[in-house]
Structure 1
Amino acid sequence: METTTSGGWPQMSLDEVRARLCGPGATFETETADIRGIPTRVWKNGPKTLPDLLRHAAGHGEATFLVLDGERVSFAAFAAASAHLAEALAGRGIGRGDRVALAMRNLPEFPVAFFAIVSLGAIVVPLNAWWTRGELLFGLKDSGAKLLLCDAERWDVLERGAGVDTLVCRAGGTVPEGSALEALIGPPSSWAALPPKPLPDVAIEPDDHATIFYTSGTTGKPKGALGTHRSSVTNVMSSAYAAAAKHMRRGEEPPEPTPKSTLLTIPLFHVTACNARMMISLYAGYKIVLTRKWDPTEAFRLIERERITHAGGVPAIAWSLIEHPERKNHDLSSLEAIAYGGAPAAPELVRKIKEMTGCEPGSGWGMTETSGTVTIHGAEDYLHRPESCGPPVPVAELRIMSLDGEREMPVGEDGELWVKGPMVVEGYWNDADATAETFKEGWLKTGDVARLDEEGFCTIVDRAKDVIIRGGENIYSIEVENCLYEHPGVVEACVVPLPHRTLGEEPAAAVFLAEGQHTTEAELRAWTAERLAAFKVPVAIRTRKAPLPRNANGKVLKPVVRAELAQELGRGEGAG
C-alpha cells in the first residue's frame, strides 16, 4: 500500500482524493448513466455536448483563444465564425448524421470548422494531413463524406479534386468559384467583425454521433473510431480533476483557476490535441498558440513572446525543450509544465524535466478509441512512478484480463488492458466485425499488455497489437508490409520497430525477393513513400538472401528479425 514519504508526500491517498473531489455536491461529482444499454460512471457536471462547450467558450469573450503567427482570434470571434459557418453549411445541405471531412494542418479554421459541423448534428471526420492522396481518398470514401473542408496544401495533394463538394481555405484565387471558405466567413482577421449569431436549433443528445477519427487498422486499412458528443467532452472534467487532485495529494487545497497558455505542437487531427487540449482550452479559457511544424528555436521564441505555461506533445518534443542548445538564449520562465504521451518515454526524461527546467512533468495514456484521456500522470506521482502512465480518471474503469479474455488477472500481474468509461467510442465505422472483436459489453480491449498496482497505477508493459509508435504516430506493421508486398520483386516482408531515443520507435523492414529479382533499398523506400504517409516509411529496408525465419506454424519470428536488424544497423535499446 501507498505510504507517506519522509518529505510528507503524499498527504492523501488516491481514494481519499476521489472521495473529497467526487462526492455529492462536489465539482467533480459522478453519477451513473445508461450508455448503449450499459450502466457507466460519468461526470455529473460540465458540458454534455459539443455545442454546450461552444456556448460556454463564447463566454470568455475577448480573451485570446488562438494565435498563429500574426493572427489572433478571440473566443467571441471564434464562436461567431463557428455559428456563421454552421449556417452556411446547413445551406449547402449538411444536416444530422452527414459526414463532413476536415483535412488541414493546425489553423484557426480547424476548430471553427469542427464546431460548425458538430453543431448541425453532423459527424466531423478529421483526416490525417500527412496522408498521401490515396490515403485521403480512402478516408473520404470510407466515411461517405458529403463535404470536405481542407487547406490549400491538402487541395494540392488531392490534385484539386476530391470527388465530393469541397471548401478550401488559404488558397487565394486558385479554387473554383464558390469553393473558397473565406467567401462564407472571411479570413480569421475579419471574424471579430462578424455579428453574434446563435447556433442552429438542433436537438443534440450526449450519445449522438459526433466524430470519426481514423486509426491504422490491423488488417492494413485504417479504421474509423466513431465517437460521440459525450466521449469528446469527457476530457474536460477529467483534466480539471487531475489538476485539482495533484494539489490534494500534497495536502493543499486546489487553487482558483488562473489563465494558462498552451503551445500546441501536435496535430488537431489527433484526439490528444483535439479532444483533450482544444476542449480543455475552450472550457477553461486558455490560449492556444498554434505552430506549423515542430521547430525548437521557433518554439522557444513563442514561449518567450506568448508567456507559454504548458508545452510538450510527444517525448521527442519534450527532449528538445530540455536539451536544445538554443534554450539558454530565451526566457522560458513562464513554463509550468511539460507533458507528453503517444509514444514510449524513458523514465530519465521525467527526472530531467524537473531537474533542468523546474517544470512539472506530465504524461498519461489513451488511444483513438478512448477519445483521448484515460489515465493522467503528473507532478510528484510521475516522479515517484516514472514507468507508470498513471491512475485512471474517476470515470474510467480498468481491468487486466488474461490474453484469451477469459479471466481477470490479480494485482501486479500482466495481461491485456481493458477500459470502460464515457470516453470510449461506440465502435468502428462500417466495420461490424472489428467492433464485435474489440468492444465487449461496454469494455474496450485495448491490445496493450499492462499491469495495475495496489493503488491502481497502470504500467504499460508491451503491445499485443502489432503497432509501432513513431513520435506519437501509430504505424501498423501489416499496412507497411502489405505495401511492400505490392512491389513485384518482394516475396516476403517483415516490418519491426527499432528503438529511437527521442521518437521512441522507428519502423525498419526485412524483405526476401523473388528469384531473379533485383531491387535496391532506395527503390523500396521510394515505393513505400509514394503510397504511404512519410512517417510510415521504414528508415531501413534490408534484403535477405534467405526466406524470413518462421516457427513451426509458419509465423514469421519478428523478434529474430528485429534483433538481426538492430545488430546490423547498430540500433540497440536507447539508440537513434
Structure 2
Amino acid sequence: MPADTAAWPAMTIAEAHARLTAPGQRYEMEEKVIRGIPTRTWKNAPATLREVFLNGRAFGPREFMVHEDERATFDAFARATLTLARQLQADGVGKGDRVAVIMRNLPEFPVAFFAAALVGAIVTPLNAWWTGAELEYGLTDSGTKVVLMDAERMERLGDHLANCPDLVRAYVSRLPAGAKPPAIVRRLEDVIGPVNAWTNLPDAPIPDVALEPEDDATIFYTSGTTGKPKGALGTHRNIVSNIMASGIAAARNFLRRGEEPPEVDPLTAPQRVTLLVVPLFHATGCHATLSPAVNAGGKLVFMRKWEPEEGMRLIEREKVAATGGVPTIAWQLIEHPARERFDLSSLNQVTYGGAPSAPELVRKIVETFPGSLPGNGWGMTETSATFASHLGKDYEVRPESCGPAAPTGEMKILSLDGATELAVGEVGELWVKGPNVVKGYWNKPEATAETFKDGWLRTGDLARVDEEGFCFIIDRAKDMLIRGGENIYCVEVENVLYDHPDVMDAALVGVPHKTLGEEPAAVVHLKSGGSATEAELRDWVRQRLAAFKVPVKVAFWPETLPRNANGKILKTELKKVFEEQE
C-alpha cells in the first residue's frame, strides 16, 4: 500500500454514497417498480435518449467529433441526426422497429444511433468484426427493417441482404464512386451529405414520438462463447443510468480523499476530450462513452485502429484527457520508446476493463502521468456496460478489485447452483441488480428465464465481495480450470505473470490431460526488449503460487494477444497453440 494513504480514506464508501445521494443532491435516488420489481433508480437522470440528445444540442458550436480531417460540432451532429431521423420516418420506421447500425468508429455512427432512437426504433448495433453470415444472422434474428452501414460492411454483407426478409432499406456511408450496390441500398451521403458539410443542413424539427424510460431502446448482441449470440434487449433507462454511474464514481473519489466534489456546469466547464479506442458497437463504447459525452458536451476523437504512435500524436494534437480500453494500451502509453517525442500532459485518466491487469500497472500510470486517475471497472452487455467503477486512490489501494457498485446497484455472491447466498469474502457466482440490467434476451424466453431471476442477473462470473462492497472478479465460471479436482482461477495466475517485468500480455488456458482432466498452460506476449524464458516464467509462478497452479507450458505470442470487440482475450484461439504442439 502506498505510504501516502495513511490518512486515507476520509470516509467509507457507504458514507460517500449517502452524501451524494441525499435528497436534493444531483445523484439523489428514488425507488421505481420496473416490471414488477422494486428498483433503485437515479431521480435526476435524463429520462430517455431524446433528453440526452437535447442536452447535447445545447452545446451548439462546440466541437463534438474528430475523425482524421473531418470535424463535426454538436450543432452539425444535431442537424445530420434530425435529417436522418426524418428520412427513417419516411421509410416507415416507427416505434419498436429495429434499425441496425454496422460501422467501425465513424462520425456517422452516433448520427445513425441517435436518429434511430429519436424515432422510437430499437437501435441494433452489430459487431463490425463479424463475417457476412454472422451479420446476416444478426439482421434476421432481430428482424431489422433498416440497416445503416459503412462500405466495408456493405462489401461483406452484399450477397446476404437478399436473405433478410424484414429489410426494406439499407444506407451505406463512404461507398466508392463506381460501386453498383443492390437496389435496396442508398448512399447515406445522399441523405445527410459528407461530415464537414453537416453544418449546412437545415435544422429539422425533433420527431414527435413519445418515449418513456422503460421503452425498448437497443439490442446489443453478446459475445457468447457457445451457440449463437443472444441479443440483450435494453431500455432507455438502462442506457442513461451509465451517465449517472460514471459521474458519481468521480464524485466519490473526491470525498474519499477528503475533498468536496467541484460544482460543474457542463456549458462553462473545460471540455473533456476522449480518444475513443473501444468500438461504438460495444456497450462500453456506446453506453459508457458516447451517451455521457453527448449529454455533457464532451469531444470524441476517433481512430481507425489503436496504434501507439498515432494515438500519442492525437493525444498531443487534440489535448486528449481520457483514453483506454484494455491494459495493453496503458502499458504502451507508458513504455513505448517514442513516448518522449509527444506532449501527453493533457492525459489525466487512463481506464480499461475487459481483461485482467497487473497491480503494477496502476502504480506505473500514477508515476508516468502525475495527477492522473487510473481507472478500472466491471460490467457486461447485460448490465448496459459499467456496473462497478474503480478510480484513483481506491484503485491504487485495491488494484485487484474492479470497485464497488454504484449506489443504485446491488451485488450478491451465491453458490454455483444458485441456492445459497455466501458470506462476505467467499468466492461464488456474482449476481447483480440495478436500473442498468437489461430486460432480457430478444426472442429467447428460455435463456432469459435462466439468466434473469426476479430482477437479478446471473453474471457467470466467479467473484467475492469484501466488507466495504468492493468486488473482486476471480474468473469466468466457465473458464475456471479444474486440475485433478483442484480449482485454478485463471486470473490469479495471469496476475502473477503480469507482475513479471518482461510480460506485457498474458492468458492462462486449459490443455487436456488424460488423468487430471486438464492442466494450466500460459500464452504471453513480452514487452519490447523482454527476454524472459519459459523456464523463468514457470519458476516465477512457482515461487508465488501453489505448485498445481504453475503452467505446465508457456508459449510466446509475437504481438498483443487476440481479443474480441469487447476486449476479452480469445482463449479458444490460444488453445490452438498447444494443440499444434501435441
Q: What's the TM-score once normalised by structure 1's chain length?
A: 0.83
The residue correspondences of 1:162-173 to structure 2 (distance < 5 A) are: 162-163=161-162, 164=167, 165-173=169-177
Assess, with a 3 A threshold, how the Cα gap between structure 1 residues 33 and 175 changes in structure 2: closer, same or farther.
farther
Aligned to 1:533: none
In structure 1, the partner of 2:350 is 338
Which of 557, 560, 572 is equivalent to 2:517? Answer: 557
Aligned to 1:409: 422
- Structure 1 equivalent of residue 19 of structure 2: 20
1:238 aligns with 2:245: yes
CA 84–550 in structure 1, closer or farther in 2 if over 3 Å, else same: farther
Letter of the 2:173 counterpart:
C
Partner residue in 1 for 2:580: none
What does the per-residue CA deviation read over 1:290-319, in whole Å, with 9 as the maximum and x for residues that have no partner?
Answer: 110001000010000000011111111111
SS of the aligned residue for 1:237 comes to: helix
Q: Quote the residue 2:200 is aligned against.
A: 193
Aligned with residue 462 of structure 1, among 451, 459, 475 = 475
Q: Deviations over 1:213-247 (max 9, x none)?
A: 11133542111111111101110011111111111
Match of 1:351 among 360, 363, 380: 363
Correspondence 1:91-240 to 2 at 5 A: 91-159=90-158, 161-163=160-162, 164=167, 165-173=169-177, 174-176=179-181, 179-240=186-247
Q: 1:58, CA displacement in angstroms?
A: 0.3
Deviations 1:49-75 (A, max 9, x none): 111110111001111110001111111
Structure 1 residues not aligned, in runs of 5+? 469-495, 511-547
CA contact 2:508–2:520 (8 Å) conserved in 1: no
Which residue does 1:541 correspond to in 2?
none
CA deviations 1:151-184 (Å, max 9, x no partner) are 0011111246523321100113324476100111
Q: Given that residues 378 and 387 in structure 2 are in contact (C-alpha distance below 8 angstroms), is that contact kept between their aligned partners in structure 1? A: yes
For 2:569, the equivalent position in structure 1 comes to: none
Check the 8 A contact 2:510/2:518 in 1, yes or no.
Answer: no
1:496-575 equivalent positions in 2, closer than 5 A: 549=513, 557-559=517-519, 567-570=552-555
Q: Please give the alpha-carbon distance, in whole angstroms, between the structure 2 residues aligned to 1:143 and 1:170.
A: 25
Counterpart of 1:545 in structure 2 is none
Question: 8 Å contact 2:122–2:219 — kept in the other structure?
Answer: yes
CA distance in 1, matches of 2:75, 2:386: 27
* Post-superposition CA distance 1:516-557 (Å, at most 9, x none): xxxxxxxxxxxxxxxxxxxxxxxxxxxxxxxx5467xxxx93
Instruction: For 1:82, give the aligned amino acid.
Output: T
**1:299-318 matches, cutoff 5 A:** 299-318=311-330
Structure 2 distance, partners of 1:39, 1:290, is 39
| Displacement of 1:211 | 0.6
Q: Mean Cα displacement is larger for which, 248-257 or 144-153?
A: 248-257
Partners of 1:159 and 1:569 in 2: CA distance? 42
1:101–1:140: 8 Å Cα contact kept in structure 2? Answer: yes
Relative to 1, partners in 2 of residues 1:564 and 1:87: Cα closer, same or farther, differing over 3 Å? same
Task: Report the alpha carbon displacement of residue 253 of structure 1 after superposing the two structures with TM.
Answer: 1.2
Residue aligning to 2:50 = 51
CA distance in 2, matches of 1:144, 1:198: 28
Residue 427 and residue 122 in structure 1: after superposition, are their counterparts in 2 closer, same or farther (change >3 A)?
same
Letter paired with 2:424: V
Residue 509 (structure 1) shift:
8.9
Q: Distance in 1 between matches of 2:375 and 2:244?
A: 17
Deviates more, 1:342-351 or 1:379-388: 342-351
Aligned residues: 505
Q: Distance in 1 between matches of 2:222 and 2:387?
A: 17
Q: What CA distance in whole angstroms lies between the structure 2 residues aligned with 1:331 and 1:348?
A: 24
**CA deviation profile, 1:494-528 (whole Å, cap 9, x unmatched):** xx999685885569797xxxxxxxxxxxxxxxxxx
Counterpart-to-counterpart distance in 1, 2:433 and 2:247: 20
Q: Distance in 1 between matches of 2:307 and 2:225?
A: 32
* CA apart distance, 1:100: 1.2
- Give the corresponding residue for 2:485: none
Which residue of 254, 264, 283 maps to 1:271?
283
Distance in 2 separating the partners of 1:67 and 1:6: 39
Q: Deviations over 1:388-438 (max 9, x none)?
A: 000101111111111111121111111110000010001111111111100
Note the C-alpha offset of 1:10.
1.1
* Pick aligned residue for 1:371 from 366, 384, 387: 384
Structure 1 residues 117 and 504 mapped into 2: Cα distance closer, same or farther (>3 Å)?
farther
Question: Matches of 2:510 and 2:194 in 1, distance apart?
Answer: 45
Whether 1:36 aligns to 2:35 is yes
1:384 to 370, 373, 397: 397
Partner residue of 2:444? 431
CA RMSD of aligned residues (A): 2.7
Q: Is the 8 A contact 2:39 2:434 kept in 1?
A: yes
TM-aligned CA deviation for residue 195 of structure 1: 2.1
Q: Residues of 2 paired with 1:198 and 1:25: CA distance?
A: 33
Q: Read off the aligned partner of 2:343 and give its amino acid letter.
A: D
